[in-house]
Copies of this chain bind each other. A is one copy, B any other.
């Protein structure tokens, strides 16, 4: 895949992902599959059902992600894209945003879109 296309795929995915997260979180279920994996602050969660449950049960309802950087590369898996995101997460009613890093490994669905095979999220303290 051309470098520019990979960058576009990564950026478009990231915009879509955090837009859903902040405005329609239950719809994130559409981006995962049974083989998907999420590691959220060290907790490992497998499969679309449990991942969706985790994301919808986080202890905050309203939040806003502000993206600082998005870097994408083609992965070794044909058509896959790895993405590293850095940014901050503003929780409703909290004064200070939380810095975070998140990586995604996106795999083509074969229907012109991508699903999340790997998702690792960490808050950055200190």
Which positions in A face B, CB cutoff 8 Å?
3, 35, 37, 39, 42, 44, 68-69, 71, 73-77, 80, 82, 84, 86, 88, 99, 101-103, 105, 107, 117-118, 120, 122, 124-126
Contact = CB atoms under 8 A, between A and B. Distances in A.
A-side interface mostly: strand
A122 B42 contact: no
9 contacts: A39-B71, A73-B118, A75-B75, A75-B76, A82-B120, A84-B101, A88-B126, A99-B99, A101-B122
B120 A68 contact: no
Nearest to A35: B76
A94 B32 CA distance: 43
Contacts of A39: 71, 73, 84
Contacts of A101: 84, 86, 101, 122, 124
Nearest to A43: B71
